[in-house]
Every structure is written in C-alpha cells, then in structure tokens.
A and B are shown apart, each in its own frame.
Chain A
Amino acid sequence: MNPESKKYREKCRQAGLQSFFRDGSIIFLKSGTRAGLLSLAIYLTLAFFCLLSFSACESTSRQNEIIIAGSTSIQPFADEWAELYMEKNSKVTINVQGGGSSGGIMAVKEGTAHIGMSSRELKEDEKDLIEITVAYDGLAIIVHPANPVDNLSLEQVRSIFAGEITNWKVINGSDKAITVVVREEGSGTRGAFQEMVMGPRRISKKAIVEDSNGVVREIVSRDRNSIGFISLGLVDDRVKAIALDGLKPSEEAITQGHYRLRRPFLFLVREEPQGLIKEFIDFVLSDDIQSMLPQEGLIPVKKITAAKGSLTD
C-alpha cells in the first residue's frame, strides 16, 4: 500500500471514519468526487474506442448488399423488383426500407443507403444527387366503393380538401359529412397533390393525417364517407378511383398527359452507379421489368419519354 493512501486513511480516521476492510476501500469511496471524475474520463475513452472499432468493421461487412431506402410509395414496387433480382442473383442481398423521400435522400447523402427512392422532385439543395427515373405514377383520388360519386371536377376536389365543401350532398351524394384523409406534411404524395391539385390553397387542418398510402387506402376502404388520394399503383378493389373532370386515371390518359396528376418515381445515387448498383438499376430499367409495370398500375419510363417526344410544344 502506498504512503499516499495511508495518509488518506489517517485523515479519515481523524474524521471519525473507521476502516472496516483491510484494503482501505471504505476510505477511498469517501473521496467520491475525484473518483467520479476519473471514472467518467475512463468511461468516455472506453466508449469512444468501442465506437471507433464498431465503425471500422462496418465498412467491411457490406460487400454484397444493396441498401435502398426512401419513399413508402415506391417501396412496395422496389421490394418486388428486389425479390425478382435476387431470384436471379442469389449472392446479392437487397434491403428495401421505407423512411420517406426525405429520409431516402438523406440516407444516400450520408451513405447509409446506396440507392434513395423519392416520389417527389428534388429540391434545389438536393440537386447534387444523380436522379434516375424508374417509372411514372398517377395520383388517384379515391373514395369508398359504395360511394355513388364517380366524378369530380378539379375545383370540387380542391374545395373538399381545403375544407370548404364538408358534406357529400353538395356534390350529388348522400347527406353525410365528408371525412378527408391526407398524407402527412413532407411526404412526396402530399407534395405532388399540393402542387398539382391544391396550388396555393392549404389543405384543411381538420383532415385526418396518415403516414403511408397503404394506411390512407385502408381507412378509405372502411369509411363510406371518406375521400383520400394515393398512388394509382396501389388502387385495388377495396377503394374506387374517381374520374377527374370526366377522365378516369388510366395508363392511356396518363401517358398522353390528359389525366394531369402524374409524378416520377426516382432512384437517387450519390455518384455514377457502378458494379452491383448499376446492375440492379439496369435490371429495373430493362424491358423485363418495365413491361410488367402497367400490371402494377405504373407507367414505364419509355412510354412517357416517347409521348413527350411526340408532343413538340
């Protein structure tokens, strides 16, 4: 035992503290503050090194893995594509995540994901990412299948979502209050809807807000008096997509640009894709996949570019 601690022991004995244990341990703990500071320092260094070693082994473990993250509107489709791709290349694992368009954009920027998915156009400060359009999607206004309303004008839709028309009887339906269901602030689908339908008008605060297209569809399919908007690709027989100004949201109408609620599905990468990532993106853009899109309610990229090319205005 060193003299230093003997002195301590002496001091404490004078202060009336009896040392019960031979090694003087009771005495030591009385100098709590010093011990506290010291161990805090040790703790922080340890924690720091642990984290360092963790981050070091991180980079090696992701050889054959592609991480895709972002828009929940694109996620179900990307999941299908990933499954098909993995059937062909069993060595590769592709992880498809939600997280939202902004989440995906951020994940790609920060390197947490290899490919980001965005269902909205990039903002100015996000333009440093490379965008690859993998499909086009229509936006459908949906109601309960039992709802007698089949057709609304754009203006009517606007007034309903702005909270000005609150009862179905105004638009030729039954005398029931309208339940408006929308997506949350920041979502690509809401952004597209705001831009293409609402314009400068605000979506009503009273609207029910849900955080994915699937949930909006689920709620509309259960509530006879509700109205919402979702990705056209997700419309099934549980809900009814209504016509806008007399136009049903069909592939034809969207390709020609008559049905105006259309938005791109984007894949985002940080740098020119290479290796696995390039292979997967090429696979998604290949005719095999693109020709399947219409069955899923999406529009192949080529069709739109062709239609755009033929319209010379």
Chain B
Amino acid sequence: MIRPKPNDRLIRLSLLTVALTAITVLAVITIFIFEQGLPVMVKYGLKNFLFGQDWYPSEKSFGLLPMIVGSLLVTLGALLIGVPLGLASAIFLTEFSSRRLSRLLKPVFELLAGIPSVVYGFLGLMFLVPFIRENLGGPGLSVLAASIILGIMILPTIISISIDSIRAVPDSYREGSIALGATKWQTVRMVVLPAARSGLVAGIILGMGRAIGETMAVIMVAGNAADLPASWLAPVRTLTSNIALEMAYASGEHRQALFATGVVLFVIIMILNFLANLAARKQSGR
C-alpha cells in the first residue's frame, strides 16, 4: 500500500518558517527594547545616561553609572567566588577523586543548577544578610551579599561545564605527560587545563551572563541604593534590579528610561554572548 506522498517542498517551507521563529523573536525583542529605550537616551544624551551619577527619574535625571558599576561589581564578585570554587571542584572531581565519587557528585551539581534563583535570594536574606550585618557591619544588604549569592548560584553551571570540557581532553595527553615524569598536578596545570581552556572560559562566561542577568535574587539581597557603592558592605543596585524595582510605578519618560536600562543591559549581554561564541568556536576548531 502506497500512501500519497506529502508535498516535500511545502513541508520544507513550513519547517523553515518555524525555524525562523528564534531569529524573529530576537529581532522583535531588540526592536521593542530599542524603540522604547532609545528616544529618551537620545533626548537626554547618551553621555548623561552612561556616565551620569544621579538617578532621580522624577527630576528627569537619568544617570545609569551607579547601576552599570553595580552590575559589573556584583558580577565580578560572583566570579571571584564562583570561579575558584567551581574550577577547583571540577578539577578535583575529574582528576583527583575516585571515579565513583565524581560519578555521584556530577549529577548532584546538575540537579542543583535547577534550583530557582529566588530560593538562593531568600536564603541570602535569611542567613547571609543578618550575618554580614552582625559581624561585618553596614546594613547587610550589600555588594558582598549579592556577590556571594550570585557566586553560589553560578557554581553548578561552572562546575558542570568545566567537568565536561576537562573530560573532553583526550587521555593520551595525560598519559604522555605522566610518561615524561610529570606529577598529576603538573599534568593538570601544564597539559589538561591549557587544552581545556576555551571550554572553561566559555563556562565562566556563561556563568557571568547568568550573574549579570539575574534579577530577583539580587533585588532581595543587594539593598538597591542607586549610588556608587563606597565599599563591599554598601548597598548597590544593578541594571536588572533597576528595571524590576521601578517598572511597576514608572510612567512616561521614567518608563522609557527603564527600557533604556534594558538597552544597556542588552548590549552588555550581547558582547558577552559574542565572547562566549568566540571561545566556543576556538574549542571546536582546534
């Protein structure tokens, strides 16, 4: 029995149509954010937006510098915490622990990657913030608190990607190095890590993207003062929290300025994406 052949061309066309969704959505998002955000940026000057230090929307003063610095600081802090812990765990689990332990723990880390960010923020609020307030001073809601929470949040991502890229290094590399009389650590440091480098970098950039894009967990623990933080213990506001905090009540140019915040965030993320792509391409091209 032969059924009538479906029209292959039609199928291809519809599939291509479907396949264009992703790029269409990307385009629409870009257009909307820029359409809403750019006019006000142009009106008050790009320089004032990017380098102005005063965020008083009701007085038409839209300086985003504290938020840009805030986002970068908090992300930097998150990396300072997440990267050493993440890389160390990945190296330990792939090179120094028993196979059984690593087989047990890798899934655990991957499971933890799915815990919603609000849960991290909540625990930060309950335990970390009071701890900082009592022991280190300041209001507790601070750059430090946000950095730690984000650092822990990106830990599973960094660990699991690092494990994958370290495992992808062929065993012959290790055998060669050991055969030359290198210790295990020398092998890891001089052979394995350089070979896995671009994968590790891609993982770190991915974690960085996650940290800079996180909203709710940061709002909960950062204190959100729209001022350049004077220390690690001072409250800070990130670009994402600026949007989420004020969106509800904003109208007119204030709202447009929040979209302009989105534009800045969008551009930063796109640059990160580009870097991550570059790193990933290097890895596969090798």
Contacts and interface: CB of A to CB of B under 8 A. Distances in A.
Q: A72, A188, A191, A205 — which one has the most chain B CB atoms within 10 A of its CB?
A: A205
B13 A105 contact: no
B235 interface: yes
B5 A205 contact: no
Interface string A186-225: 1110010010000000100111111100000001001101
A43 B56 CA distance: 43
Contacts of B17: 39-40, 42-43, 46
A185 B8 contact: no
Interface in A16-47: 21, 23, 25, 28-29, 35-36, 38-40, 42-43, 46
A215 to B, nearest CB: 9
Q: A21, A100, A185 — which one has the most chain B CB atoms within 10 A of its CB?
A: A185
Nearest to A186: B249
Q: A21, A209, A223 — which one has the most chain B CB atoms within 10 A of its CB?
A: A209
Nearest to A182: B225
Given A186-B251, A223-B139, A209 B13 contact: no
A188 B249 contact: yes
Q: B13, B244, B251 — which one has the most chain A CB atoms within 10 A of its CB?
A: B251
A106 B255 CA distance: 12
Contact of B13 (A39, A99, A188, A194): A39
A184 B257 CA distance: 14
Contacts of A98: 248
The interface size bin for chain A is: 35 or more
A25 B10 CA distance: 11
A42 B9 CA distance: 14
Contacts of B237: 209
B124 interface: no
Contacts of B226: 205, 209
B249 A103 contact: yes
A39 B5 contact: no
Given A40-B20, A208-B223, A28 B9 contact: yes
A103 B250 CA distance: 7
A223 B246 contact: no
A209 B225 contact: yes
Interface string A258-278: 000000000000000000000
A142 to B, nearest CB: 15
Nearest to B129: A222
4 nearest interchain CB pairs? Answer: A100-B248, A186-B249, A100-B249, A205-B227
Interface of A: 21, 23, 25, 28-29, 35-36, 38-40, 42-43, 46, 72, 98-103, 105-106, 177, 179, 184-188, 191, 194, 202, 205-211, 219, 222-223, 225-226
18 contacts: A23-B5, A25-B9, A35-B16, A39-B14, A43-B20, A100-B248, A177-B138, A184-B246, A185-B56, A185-B246, A185-B249, A205-B227, A206-B235, A211-B244, A219-B141, A223-B139, A223-B140, A226-B139
Given A25-B12, A35-B16, A186-B57, 13 more contacts: A23-B5, A25-B8, A29-B12, A39-B13, A39-B14, A39-B17, A43-B24, A186-B254, A205-B66, A205-B227, A209-B237, A223-B133, A226-B139
